């Protein structure tokens, strides 16, 4: 992916699971660092999860400052970039919440490990997909899977995250008995990092796509070999193709208003782009 000009709009997504004893103070620090950008950042005791956008040089300055913020707790964090034609966000919002990604997993689980051996590079992921014994599991919402997925991936029909938990629980015994590894992916990696310890607690052999779909698109120019459709993104751009370019897809084409969970998402999207009061 070519380097953007300093004034070009750039989107940056990032997260880090790291203990933060004072999330409120951390949020204040991040709000000050990102004052030239728009986006959404969530801070919790378990870490930071954010997406920001702005001029490429302002994004670069923010990322550099983030490496030394919070006593270096975020040093070495990976940033996933995509260019923007549409401004992805209208405002900067920094929230303090109980979790940086709320999944409601059952039981006490080990902390996520973003660097364990279950994380596969895009090239290694492609090799894994070619095996005939692998369960390819999409760890996203149903509307995201409808828009695009890896070829042959299972759609757990998630409208609420408890749907994912129920789906895996109903099939884990069969997958384990058949000695089928689970290859799990999501948009940027955070949902898989959070759920992998739970799947392992069920006795499953789990692999994850390192950096998620966005990293796959960035690393492999021929990603369309393995991907069908587009990738939904949670901002005003709506969807990206395998070249990380905005598509013409609209929120009306993504969300099914007959389903309550998707109806409110559609109304929110319309408010964001100014097409509804």
CATH number of 18's domain: 3.30.70.100
Identify whether 186 is a catalytic site residue. yes
Residues 137 and 225 in one domain: yes
Provide the terminal-to-terminal Cα distance of the chain, rounded to the nearest Å: 38
In a domain, 216, yes or no: yes
The 10s digit of each residue's pLDDT in 8-58 is 899 999 999 999 999 999 999 999 999 999 999 999 999 999 999 999 999
In a domain, 101, yes or no: no
pLDDT category, 161, cuts 50, 70, 90?
A: confident
Q: What is the CATH number of the domain that holds 264?
A: 3.40.250.10
Closest CA to 245 of 49, 16, 81, 132: 81
Residues 88 and 153 in one domain: no
Q: Is 8 exposed, middle or buried (0-12, 13-18, 19+ CB in 10 A)?
A: middle
Q: Which of 84, 186, 192, 231 is catalytic?
A: 186
Residues 131 and 66 in one domain: no
In a domain, 57, yes or no: yes
- What is the pLDDT at residue 1? 52
Residue whose token pair is 């954010």: 50
Q: How far apart are CA 253 and CA 31, in angstroms?
A: 34
Whether residue 62 contacts residue 34, with contact meaning beta carbons closer than 8 Å, is answered with yes
Q: What mean pLDDT, rounded, does the chain reach?
A: 93
- What is the pLDDT at residue 277? 35
pLDDT category, 237, cuts 50, 70, 90?
A: very high
- What is the pLDDT at residue 160? 84
Residues 147 and 53 in one domain: no
pTM over 0.85: yes
Residue 2 has pLDDT above 60, yes or no: no
In a domain, 19, yes or no: yes
Please state the domain count of the chain.
Answer: 2
For residue 185, what are the domain limits?
119-270
Residues 228 and 130 in one domain: yes
Residue 267 has pLDDT above 70, yes or no: yes
Residues 263 and 150 in one domain: yes
Residues 124 and 92 in one domain: no
- What is the pLDDT at residue 243? 96
In a domain, 2, yes or no: no
Q: How far apart are CA 234 and CA 52, in angstroms?
A: 11
């Amino acid at each position: 992916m070519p380097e953007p000009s300093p004034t070009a709009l750039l989107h940056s997504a990032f997260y880090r699971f790291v203990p933060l004893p004072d999330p409120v103070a951390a949020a204040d620090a991040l709000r000050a660092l990102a004052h030239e950008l728009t986006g959404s950042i969530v801070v919790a005791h378990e870490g930071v999860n954010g997406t920001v956008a702005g001029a490429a040089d302002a994004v670069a300055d923010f990322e550099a400052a983030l490496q030394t913020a919070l006593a270096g707790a975020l040093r070495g964090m990976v940033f996933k970039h995509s260019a923007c034609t549409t401004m992805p966000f209208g405002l900067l919002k920094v929230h303090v919440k109980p979790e940086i990604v709320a999944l409601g997993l059952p039981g006490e689980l080990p902390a996520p490990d973003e660097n364990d051996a279950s994380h596969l590079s895009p090239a290694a992921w492609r090799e894994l997909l070619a095996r005939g014994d692998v369960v390819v599991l999409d760890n996203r919402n149903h509307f995201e899977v409808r828009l695009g997925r890896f070829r042959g991936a299972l759609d757990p029909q998630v409208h609420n995250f408890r749907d994912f938990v129920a789906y895996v629980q109903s099939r884990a015994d069969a997958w384990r008995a058949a000695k089928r590894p689970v290859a799990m992916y999501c948009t940027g990696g955070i949902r898989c990092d959070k759920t992998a310890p739970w799947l392992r607690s069920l006795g499953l052999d789990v692999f994850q796509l390192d950096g998620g779909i966005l990293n796959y698109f960035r690393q492999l120019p021929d990603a369309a070999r393995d991907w069908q459709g587009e990738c939904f993104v949670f901002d005003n751009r709506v969807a990206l193709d395998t070249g990380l370019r905005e598509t013409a897809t609209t929120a009306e084409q993504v969300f099914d208003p007959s389903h309550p969970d998707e109806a409110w998402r559609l109304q929110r999207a319309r408010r964001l782009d100014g097409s509804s009061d």
